[in-house]
C-alpha cells in the first residue's frame, strides 16, 4: 500500500484491521464524502491564494478545513476505540492489549495538541 509523498508513516500505518473487520459501508462512504469535501476546500484555498484574496478570508477557510479534518480524525479515533481497542481487550491477549493501549495513548497525545 503506497502513501502520498510527505505523508507520515509509522509501524502502525500499515493496514491492520484485525478480527474486528472493516468499517461498515455507510460509515466508510460518509468518511469518503467528508474527505472529498475537504479536498474541494483545500483546492479552493489554493485558488484563493492564487487570486490574492484577503488574508482573513483565506485564514477563515483554512480554519474551516482544519476543523473538518479534526472531525474526520475524531470519527476514526472513535471507530478505533469501538472496534480495535475493544476487540484487543475482550480477546484476553495481554500483548495485544498492551500494544493497543500504547497506540491509543500515542493517538490521544497526538490529537490533544
pLDDT in tens, 42-100: 999 999 999 999 999 999 999 999 999 999 998 888 888 888 788 888 888 888 888 88
Q: State the alpha helices, DSSP H only, in the chain.
A: 25-50, 55-79, 86-90, 94-111
Q: What pLDDT was estimated at residue 70?
A: 92
Q: Is pLDDT above 70 for 4?
A: no
Q: What pLDDT was estimated at residue 82?
A: 83
Whole-model pTM: value is 0.70
Residues 27 and 30: their CA atoms lie apart, in Å, by 5
DSSP string covering 5-26, please? TT----GGGS---GGG-S--HH
Q: What pLDDT was estimated at residue 55?
A: 97
Q: Is pLDDT above 70 for 5?
A: no
Task: For domain 24-111, give the fold.
Answer: Methane Monooxygenase Hydroxylase; Chain G, domain 1 (1.20.58)
36 SS3 class: helix
Contacts of 91 (CB under 8 A, 6+ apart): 19
Residues 49 and 61: their CA atoms lie apart, in Å, by 11
Q: What is the residue extent of each domain of the chain?
A: 24-111
Amino acid at each position: 500500500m503506497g502513501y502520498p509523498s510527505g505523508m507520515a508513516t509509522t509501524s502502525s500505518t500499515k493496514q491492520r484491521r484485525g478480527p474486528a473487520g472493516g468499517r461498515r459501508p455507510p460509515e466508510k462512504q460518509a468518511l469518503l464524502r467528508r474527505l472529498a469535501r475537504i479536498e474541494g476546500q483545500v483546492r479552493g484555498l489554493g485558488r484563493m491564494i492564487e487570486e490574492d484574496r484577503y488574508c482573513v478570508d483565506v485564514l477563515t477557510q483554512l480554519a474551516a478545513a482544519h476543523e473538518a479534518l479534526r472531525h474526520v480524525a475524531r470519527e476514526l479515533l472513535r471507530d478505533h476505540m469501538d472496534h480495535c481497542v475493544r476487540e484487543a481487550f475482550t480477546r484476553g491477549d495481554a500483548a495485544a492489549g498492551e500494544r493497543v493501549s500504547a497506540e491509543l495513548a500515542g493517538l490521544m497525545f497526538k490529537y490533544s495538541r
